[in-house]
Amino acid sequence: MSSVRETQIAIIGAGIVGISSAYYLCKKYKCNSVLLIDERDPMSYTTAQSGDNYRNWWPSDVMAQFTNLSIDLMREMATESSNFLQMKQRGYALATRQKDISHVIESLNDNYRDSENLVRQHNSAHAQGYHSPYSQDWSSAIDGVDILSNKSLIKTVFPAFSSSIEHVFHIRRAGDFSSQQMGQIMLQQIKPQGCEKLRGRVKNIAHGQDYNIEVQTKDGLVAVKAAKVINAAGPYVADIAKMLGVALPVKNIFHQKLAFEDSHSAVPRNQPFSIDIDETPLDWSNEERATLAEEPELSWLTRPIDGGIHCRPEGAGKWIKLGWAYNRTASQPNPNRELTDDPMFNPNYPEIVLRGAAKLNPKLAQYVESMPANRVHYGGYYTMTQENWPIIGPLDQSGAFVVGALSGFGCMAACAAGSLCADWVCGGQRPDFAKYLSLARYDDPALANIMNRSNDLGLL
Ligand SMILES: Cc1cc2nc3c(=O)[nH]c(=O)nc-3n(C[C@H](O)[C@H](O)[C@H](O)COP(=O)(O)OP(=O)(O)OC[C@H]3O[C@@H](n4cnc5c(N)ncnc54)[C@H](O)[C@@H]3O)c2cc1C
């Protein structure tokens, strides 16, 4: 026997993005009848896998504006909560062995063109005016990018980097935070304002005068009647859209990470999130290379792999996190399995990412021969569009909305995504770039040029 619940706005998905949408509906628009529906504990699916890094550096201006808005909103929350969300801002250090960096400088000038003096070059060993990355205080941190082009300076600031590094681009409005803490702040604040939770799996959605959402709970079926519905279902966003009669242009790609105790102190604790941006050939012995080349499933490891291997010290102890988003093959998660049990896990990933990361931090190579004893290999799905922009806005003309496809940036972008979603739902004023993030962008041929301008998707 089914029971019935009524609400003004039903949000499907209580990951960080659904929670943030509820937060801005309640905070900005004083909505007092919001129901968050999820079959799991809040923030326990993709959100729980996040490395919780943030940045305003992107190959596209639209994404830079979007994440800058999100960082502004996170800073607001950090101020209001005495930094309960543990925001830190050491920056991102992008390292390259390339001598000619004119193309990178061009794209940075594009990215940071709105304000003066945001791209600063340092060519001498004693760069005056260069703020070191050792303070992690977000409130006094600077914006823009410092380009370190002197090998002695690089050695002083980033002593663990390979001596082959010619330039480091130090992106300053970037760092890390706790998305779980941020979500907790939001949940605490919206509860007294009328936001409730329902635990169960959405099985079907019918649309008459209202939306009738069929939810399977442990106590039986619940029929939720809602005037408006928001699809914030993470990797299942296309499945929920299908129930609403809309096909979404998204795919799911499994990406893995490795966290481990750096017992050899290979990475300095004050090193910022560091990324090797060069295409990387892995080091193998001749024998290993020959064996790999003969295996059809492994031969790709003998060829250079796209750049983007990253490394960051985590917390106060000795742990570090490594990642490399090299997978390009889409797959679909099974809703009945946990992420820890996903068939897309590659048992060779820890060795691959360690070999890759050792090209920038050579001391990590010692772990290839003797894998760290304390390690966690984990992963989750990046739900993405072709151009790696999210989809936020109306799903159709009748009160259904989507906030999804947040790829590998959904935690840093959650505040802006939730705020824009609330603007759409309540008909509030939206920033200009909001239209580029809605589904309407696919109907505008002029936008196709902007979206396809570069092969660089800003994927990490
Ligand atoms: C390994 C990894 C590292 C990452 N690192 C970073 C990072 O450093 N910085 C960053 O900003 N982002 C990062 N991300 C990306 C970020 O984690 C995601 O973009 C973000 O968590 C997406 O949040 P979400 O709320 O959209 O999805 P989710 O957290 O997946 O939430 C969706 C929710 O919808 C629920 N749901 C789905 N279908 C149904 C249904 N039918 N009925 C009921 N409930 C349903 C699910 O149970 C789930 O709880 C990373 C992602 C991964 C995988």
Residue 52, by phi and psi: left (phi above 0), alpha (psi -120 to 50) or beta? left
Residue 71 has pLDDT above 90, yes or no: yes
Q: Determine the distance from the C-alpha atom of residue 84 to the mean position of all C-alpha atoms in its chain, rounded to a whole number.
A: 20
The whole domain housing 409 covers 3-52+179-249+387-451
Mean pLDDT score of the chain: 94
Note whether residue 63 is domain-resident: no
* CA distances (Å), origin 103, targets 92, 100, 171, 186, 335: 19, 8, 16, 41, 43
Secondary structure element (H or E) that encloses residue 136, with its range: none
Note whether residue 73 is domain-resident: no
Contact 411, 432 (CB under 8 A): no
Ligand 1 center–CA 340 separation, angstroms: 14
Radius of gyration of the chain (CA): 23
Q: What is the pLDDT of residues 286-337, one digit of tens each?
A: 999 999 999 998 999 999 999 999 999 998 899 999 999 999 999 999 988 8
Task: Assess whether 223 and 353 both reside in one domain.
Answer: no
Task: Assess whether 351 and 398 both reside in one domain.
Answer: no
Nearest atom of ligand 1 to the alpha carbon of 410: 19
pLDDT at 239: 97
Residue 1 has pLDDT above 90, yes or no: no
Contact 64, 57 (CB under 8 A): yes
Residue 128 has pLDDT above 90, yes or no: no
Instruction: State the pLDDT confidence band at 353, using cuts at 50, 70 and 90.
Output: very high
Instruction: State the pLDDT confidence band at 454, using cuts at 50, 70 and 90.
Output: low
Secondary structure element (H or E) that encloses residue 159, with its range: none
pLDDT at 2: 75
Q: How many CA atoms lie within 13 A of 229 on its CB side?
A: 31
pLDDT at 104: 87
Confidence (pTM): 0.96
Ligand 1 surroundings by CB, under 6 angstroms: 12-18, 37-40, 45-47, 49-54, 201-202, 232-236, 255, 257, 379-382, 404, 406-412
Task: Assess whether 183 and 235 both reside in one domain.
Answer: yes
pLDDT at 110: 77
* Number of compact structural domains in the chain: 2
Q: What is the β-pairing status of strands 201-207 and 145-148?
A: unpaired
Task: Assess whether 272 and 148 both reside in one domain.
Answer: yes
Nearest CA to ligand 1 atom 4: 50
How far is it, in rounded angstroms, from Cα 326 to Cα 347? 15
Q: How many CA atoms lie within 13 A of 375 on its CB side?
A: 19
Residue 447 has pLDDT above 90, yes or no: no
Residue 205 has pLDDT above 80, yes or no: yes
Which residue, chain included where needed, has tokens 């739900």? 383
| Mean pLDDT calculated for residue range 202-208 | 95
Residue 126 has pLDDT above 90, yes or no: no
pLDDT at 275: 97
| Mean pLDDT calculated for residue range 117-126 | 89
Instruction: State the pLDDT confidence band at 416, using cuts at 50, 70 and 90.
Output: very high
CATH code for position 427: 3.50.50.60
Contact 125, 150 (CB under 8 A): yes
Tell me the residue type at 280.
T
Ligand 1 center–CA 182 separation, angstroms: 14
Task: Assess whether 260 and 339 both reside in one domain.
Answer: yes
Note whether residue 12 is domain-resident: yes
- Write phi, then psi, for 355 (nearest 5 degrees): -60, -40
Note whether residue 343 is domain-resident: yes
